[in-house]
Amino acid sequence: MRMASWQWGGRDHVGTISADGREATPLAVRDASRGVLPLIQALARGEPLPSPSGARLPVEVIELRAPLPHPLRSLFCVGRNYHAHAAELASTVFRETMPEEDPWPIVFSKLPECVVGPHDTVRLPSPSTSVQIDYESELAVIIGKGGIDIPKSRAMDHVCGYTIVNDVTARDVQMRHQQWDLGKSFDTFCPMGPWIVTGDELDGNATRVRGWVNGQLRQDGLTRDMIHDIPTLIETCSRGITLYPGDVIATGTPAGVGMGMSPPQWLRAGDRVRIEIDGIGAIENPFG
Average pLDDT over residues 149-157: 98
pLDDT of residue 167: 98
Provide the residue ranges of all domains of the chain, joining segments of one domain with +: 2-64, 75-286
pLDDT of residue 41: 97
Q: What is the largest CA-CA distance in the chain?
A: 58
Q: Is the pLDDT score of 161 beyond 70? A: yes
- The alpha-helical segments, DSSP class H, found in the chain are 37-44, 83-89, 152-155, 171-176, 181-184, 230-237
Q: Using 50, 70 and 90 to split pLDDT, how confident is the model at 1?
A: very high
Average pLDDT over residues 138-162: 98
Q: Are 277 and 219 in contact (CB under 8 A)?
A: no
Q: Is the pLDDT score of 225 beyond 60? A: yes
Average pLDDT over residues 74-89: 83
Residue-wise pLDDT tens digits, 104-126:
899 999 999 999 999 999 999 99
Q: Is the pLDDT score of 91 beyond 70? A: no
Q: Is 235 exposed, middle or buried (0-12, 13-18, 19+ CB in 10 A)?
A: buried
**CA distances (Å), origin 43, targets 85, 107, 169, 246:** 35, 27, 33, 11
pLDDT of residue 261: 93
Beta strands in 69-215 (DSSP E): 75-79, 106-110, 115-116, 133-134, 137-143, 159-166, 169-170, 190-198, 208-213
Q: Is the pLDDT score of 95 beyond 80? A: no
Residue % of the chain over a pLDDT of 90: 88
DSSP track, 36-55: THHHHHHHHTTPPPPPB-S-
Q: Are 106 and 86 in contact (CB under 8 A)?
A: no
CA distance 245 to 96: 38
Assign domain 75-286 to a CATH class. alpha beta
- The predicted model scores a pTM of 0.94
Residue % of the chain over a pLDDT of 70: 94
CA distance 224 to 79: 16
Average pLDDT over residues 238-257: 97
pLDDT of residue 89: 66
Q: Using 50, 70 and 90 to split pLDDT, how confident is the model at 99?
A: low
Q: Is the pLDDT score of 279 beyond 90? A: yes
Average pLDDT over residues 192-221: 98
Q: Is the pLDDT score of 101 beyond 70? A: no
Q: Is the pLDDT score of 93 beyond 60? A: no
pLDDT of residue 152: 97
pLDDT of residue 104: 87
